[in-house]
Structure 1
């Protein structure tokens, strides 16, 4: 093969390499861009003979510097980060509310029993009796305020879950569409690196919302499935995720893929969706039940003891609290109750007697059965609930910090293979420019030799 053709192949190869470096430099700030390069291979001689050097160089393929394992690590780290990051704002808000003086049930209990102790000095005093009623209302309000916060958080969880399901469906459809475009491009011999980058970015966003498994297919497609197994994307087909309400008011996740239908547990989904499920099932629901048990214990214990006593007029005692389980305002002072209706006396004929009042005061030290805590005293129940929440929040914060570190490390590991280095590309530009110039010099020399040969023959 002539010098000109050999040098021309070198010039074409260096031009392809310069194009790849130019594309890399142009996308140095593009999120998710995977750098590209050329694979150069020496062409074998077309003619036989020991002194035939070869036929030049060819660009065998355009390389895409991607590592599937590092991408998998990147997506797994994003799922973990999404789960803990979603839970923390809810936990932080709960801690702040439960520790505040206005919503703390311990503050309400202290005020109520302090008023009872003050009334025990003079059970017949109307102002002291009225203070008991006032403090009972404040205690009920503290239960109701915290209960409303929990209801609001569950409402927010439901709304956020619906939004995430919409995002998951949109991203799944995008991945399925990109699978089709990538498969078609590769079948026609077109470089699909840009489409693959778009798909990987969509998968990364999907991984943040839910824990996923990603499987590469021989045709260039990537199938995506949830951690529990149901498919989200298979080639060009995407599943549809939906939220359905139940008679109890809870939400259930369902997934429809082709003709198959799946019921999912969002607490096991991973990602932000899994974080919401864990927050609801492991924190909000148990805390609501514990709060209900406490309110029932307060209302039941105080009302039962008052029923055993007598008012200053000698009448049998009645209830101080009304309890409504399942309501956002579970506790209230009985409507129309007057200070003189409180049955503090243990003897119908002794209005100034405080023996029954002392029994009410003693309720604070009696054991109650609280869901999630077991048998605890009324005075210790809220403190233990607050401690349990603090532990959950601290554990999640620690896990969040770890997840952030793992995600950062996964990103750096991905960039070490797929990211664009400006210094490296600058070096490549110089080398490929020199390669191009050298090949053009060979062509010039070949032309001079050709002219010289023609001159000798003329």
Structure 2
């Protein structure tokens, strides 16, 4: 009878191996599926003695081939990839707008001072004077258009941040629910591998939104927090993240967990939220401030100099530009009441054809402006340097994006080497378990023949 019992345990073990192998093969194309296996152990003999071989084989447990370290590496790579991926479209658009040779700000500045130079040849020419006003209006429109593009980008960033926050809340709620299911399933001794795979996929999606820390708990659940320590998921409880608007147009990220409230800082976010904060705080807002400062200081210098000169009728010149940073229509525009004869080109009230003051206006292009991101820089070089800084930021982000993509691909391959399904390996397992099953059935058949023969002899 011991022979039959041993063979029966072997057949059952082979059947368990065939079940796990078939599950692996069925999920060979399932993203995030972790392959499984059986852990076999021999059963010690029930009776002592030198002829007691053993009691067969037992399936001690089902194995889940996972490596926590590789999962963490993959999630970290997802955070970096999400950060640089979300930033690049904004940088590319800014680079295209700022660097356009025909419609960019640089071309507008050049055209305005070219009109002033043309007027210096014949200061009394009404068409040339009108051309200066026309070029000034075109320059103002370029400033306003660029500001509108940047304002639209900031609004898009805020909308994308709000969308990301909503996705984070959905993912953390789902992960908390899975924590409950996994803990309950494992407590009853049922295999929870499928639930764990689903939770890992959601953690991976969460990691692309924001950098996270993941800690395994004894009951099978996982606690998740921001890198800076604020909790996101603890057991079956999930935090709520919100993006609250401020009066200055910015947003503040807050986390509510139970009765506790936390405020998040951009430097510790990572993922898409970190990328959005980085491009807004380190690129977009400084660029907007530089453009505003440039428009303000240029308008002030031009107006001051023109008002120091004299119009064609000998009266003091009037301001050409109007600057209002709070205007909803446009921060820079041409004085609506000015006419060509009002331009104070002359340095002498009695000499309407004099261009002494006009030459001083032309010299403004070489004068320095004080811009927050650049320091002291000439008006003619300001846009070029801003475009250069933006180009460097874009190139650095592209290089980081390429590196992050490579690292992500490598971590995925590393994860698959441990947890992914290998079709060739599973085909071999299938044959081995099939042979094991057939061999044990053959043992049972032989044992039955021997038992029948024994009974026949005794009869």
How many Å apart are 1:129 and its aligned residue? 0.3
Residue 145 of structure 1, CA deviation: 1.1
Deviation for aligned residue 1:371: 1.0
CA distance in 1, matches of 2:260, 2:91: 36
Separation in 2 of the partners of 1:106 and 1:47?
Answer: 95
1:284 aligns with 2:284: yes
Contact 1:267–1:276 (CA under 8 A) maintained in structure 2: no
How many residue pairs end up in the alignment? 458
Deviations 1:64-99, CA, capped at 9 Å, x for gaps: 000000000000000000000000010001111111
Pairwise CA distance, 1:247: 1.2
The residue number in structure 2 matching 1:424 is 425
The residue that corresponds to 1:342 in the other structure is 343
Aligned to 2:31: 31
Q: What secondary structure does 1:353 align onto? A: coil
How far off is 1:142 after superposition?
1.1
Q: Secondary structure at the match of 1:80?
A: helix
Which residue in 2 is equivalent to 1:192? 192
Distance 1:428 1:221 in 2: 31
Q: Is the 8 A contact 1:46 1:55 kept in 2?
A: yes
Q: What are the superposed Cα offsets for residues 232-265 of structure 1, whole Å, 9 maximum, x if unpaired? A: 0001000000011111111111000011000112
Q: Hey, what does 1:390 align to over in structure 2? A: 391
Instruction: Give the secondary structure class of the aligned counterpart of 2:312.
Output: coil
Residue 101 (structure 1) shift: 3.4
Q: After superposition, what is the alpha-carbon deviation per residue over 1:338-376, rounded to whole angstroms, capped at 9, x for unaligned?
A: 111111011111111110000000001111101110000
Q: Distance in 1 between matches of 2:300 and 2:139?
A: 14
Question: What does residue 372 of structure 1 align with?
Answer: 373
Structure 1 residue 268, shift from structure 2 partner = 2.8
1:405 aligned partner? 406
Distance 2:458 2:264 in 1: 87
* Residue of structure 2 in register with 1:436 after alignment: 437
TM-score (norm 1): 0.99
CA offset at residue 391 of structure 1?
Answer: 0.4
Deviations 1:99-125, CA, capped at 9 Å, x for gaps: 123531110011000000000011100
User: Scaled by the length of structure 2, what TM-score is found?
Assistant: 0.99
Question: Matched residues in 1 for 2:378 and 2:101: separation?
Answer: 21
User: What stretches of structure 1 of length at least 5 have no aligned partner?
Assistant: none
CA distance in 2, matches of 1:426, 1:244: 55
Match of 1:169 in 2: 169
Aligned to 1:220: 220
CA RMSD of aligned residues (A): 0.8
Gaps of 5+ in 2: none
CA contact (8 A) 2:20 2:38 kept: yes
Contact 1:267/1:275 (<8 A) preserved: no
Instruction: Report the Cα distance in structure 2 between the residues aligned to 1:97 and 1:327, rounded to whole angstroms.
Output: 22
Q: Is the contact between residue 223 and residue 234 of structure 1 (CA under 8 Å) also seen in structure 2? A: yes
Deviating 4+ runs (over 3 angstroms): none
Q: SS in structure 2 opposite 1:60?
A: strand
